[in-house]
Structure 1
Amino acid sequence: MPAVWRRLIIFSVSLVPFLWLVYRTVTQQLGADPAKTIVLFTGEWTIYFLFITLSVSPLVKLARWRWLMTHRRMLGLFALFYALCHVAAYLVFILGLDLSRFFSEMVKRPYITAGMPAVLILIALGVTSTKGMMRRLRKNWVKLHRLVYAALILGWLHVLWQVRSSYFEAVLYGVIVLVLLGIRLYGYRRRAR
């Protein structure tokens, strides 16, 4: 299949959660607390796209899906897209655009303190994801883009520190984080030898 068609399919499929959220919003199917539903939904899809993006390299190596590598940047940009939707939904629907309240919430709630640096990292990675920035930054580009691992860990902490009752989802996410980072650590150690 030509890369253009694959790109179009991946782009369309990646937009489905957002379109589903819009549909549920328009048809008033968001439950008793629509604001909370929107914030949680966009947050979940942010971490899902981080998982998907960081699964590309292992899939290329293990399953030999080299074609997938050309789409990694777009998947990473969708992680950024959902992260920005998550922050915007929180600012608009929960805080009513009260920025002073946002800063006080950031101090009071550790999960926001963990989440905001993760979003800032994703913004930096999104801004520098172009081929032009790769040429300008050279070796520093790789170092900068390794911060995605920090964003992943901070995203997981963001989820973990919000848990009120069941830790199942947070533990599951933690296992996925460990697997994704463990694969990379194993690869680095093998190359070092």
Structure 2
Amino acid sequence: MEHWLRFFSKSHAFLSNSIYLVAMLLSVYLCMVYFSSANNVYQLLMKLTGQYALIYLVIVLTITPLRRWAVIACQQCKLSYGKRLSDWNWLIKLRRSLGMVCTFFALVHLYFYLWLDFDWLWQDIVWDANTRPFIALGWISIGLLCLLALTSPDVIQKVLKRRWRQIHRCIYLLAIVVLYHFGMSEKAGSNDVTSWAIIVAILLLHRVWFGLLKSSKNAADDGMLAQRAKSNRRAKHHVKKSI
């Protein structure tokens, strides 16, 4: 068990490339759908791209709870590796790749809307956003996603410092806005959004629950505290060696 945990922690580059490979294969499938002779190609492309973006968004939200419960599981199993949050930092690195893929499919979703539905007629696009509330929510979702994507690089993170964490907490607001956008765009009688709403609600409640556990040392950790602690330990070790 520990052997596989160590293997995954050292293979985050391979896992990140695998995430991009899956996204590439999904993109190829979208191209096949576009050039197919299926009926309602536009509706199918919009549905698929929206679902892909939502799936990746939910996976991103799952990373932090997964990391916390993985630590608890390893502690209960008394494993020497995996019982510290820093042992699961490779999941944090995968979260960025998943977030970029989520943003990509959301932008493709927007591209098909602007091109196939309105043929880039901006006057009609603005009218549509003012007329249908779920379209306005879609634009808000795109804005939040682009904000998170543009502030994800390490360079931006170092510049923003504490503000970076505050900005990236917008992902919870983003999830709620996306669900409203999805639910309002559904046809009457369809309830596909319900299952997604339940999953997101559980993840948000998990966040609130851990936030209320002030006595727990790792309750407020979002993945960055463990990385800082690991860097501090390396710095102290380097100082001792130099002495």
Fold shared per TM-score above 0.5: yes
The one-letter code of the counterpart of 2:186 is: V
CA distance in 1: counterparts of 2:47 and 2:211, whole angstroms: 34
CA distance in 1: counterparts of 2:20 and 2:49, whole angstroms: 17
Instruction: Give, in angstroms, the shift of residue 125 of structure 1.
Output: 0.7
The answer to whether residue 186 in structure 2 is matched with residue 163 in structure 1 is: yes
1:27-106 equivalences in 2 (<5 Å): 28-29=36-37, 31-64=38-71, 66=88, 67-106=90-129
CA distance in 1: counterparts of 2:59 and 2:140, whole angstroms: 20
The one-letter code of the counterpart of 1:22 is: C
Instruction: Give, in angstroms, the shift of residue 13 of structure 1.
Output: 1.8
Q: What does residue 191 of structure 1 align with? A: 214
8 Å contact kept, 1:53–1:75: yes
Instruction: Give, in angstroms, the shift of residue 7 of structure 1.
Output: 1.7
1:102-181 equivalences in 2 (<5 Å): 102-181=125-204
CA distance in 1: counterparts of 2:95 and 2:68, whole angstroms: 14
Structure with max Cα Rg: 2
Normalization by structure 1: what TM-score?
Answer: 0.93
Instruction: Give, in angstroms, the shift of residue 167 of structure 1.
Output: 3.6
Instruction: Give, in angstroms, the shift of residue 4 of structure 1.
Output: 2.0
8 Å contact kept, 1:36–1:94: no
Q: Are the structure 2 counterparts of residues 167 and 36 from structure 1 closer, same or farther at C-alpha, using a change threshold of 3 Å?
A: closer
CA distance in 2: counterparts of 1:151 and 1:69, whole angstroms: 19
The answer to whether residue 39 in structure 2 is matched with residue 16 in structure 1 is: no
Instruction: Give, in angstroms, the shift of residue 8 of structure 1.
Output: 1.5
The 10-residue stretch of structure 1 (13-22 or 131-140) with the greater mean CA deviation from structure 2 = 13-22
8 Å contact kept, 1:56–1:68: yes
The 10-residue stretch of structure 1 (161-170 or 72-81) with the greater mean CA deviation from structure 2 = 161-170
Percentage of pairs with the same residue: 23
CA distance in 1: counterparts of 2:93 and 2:126, whole angstroms: 38
8 Å contact kept, 1:119–1:151: no
Q: What does residue 14 of structure 2 align with? A: 5
CA distance in 2: counterparts of 1:4 and 1:128, whole angstroms: 21
Q: Number of residue pairs matched? A: 191
8 Å contact kept, 2:33–2:41: no
CA distance in 2: counterparts of 1:15 and 1:180, whole angstroms: 28
Instruction: Give, in angstroms, the shift of residue 191 of structure 1.
Output: 2.8
Structure 1: which 5+ residue stretches go unaligned?
none
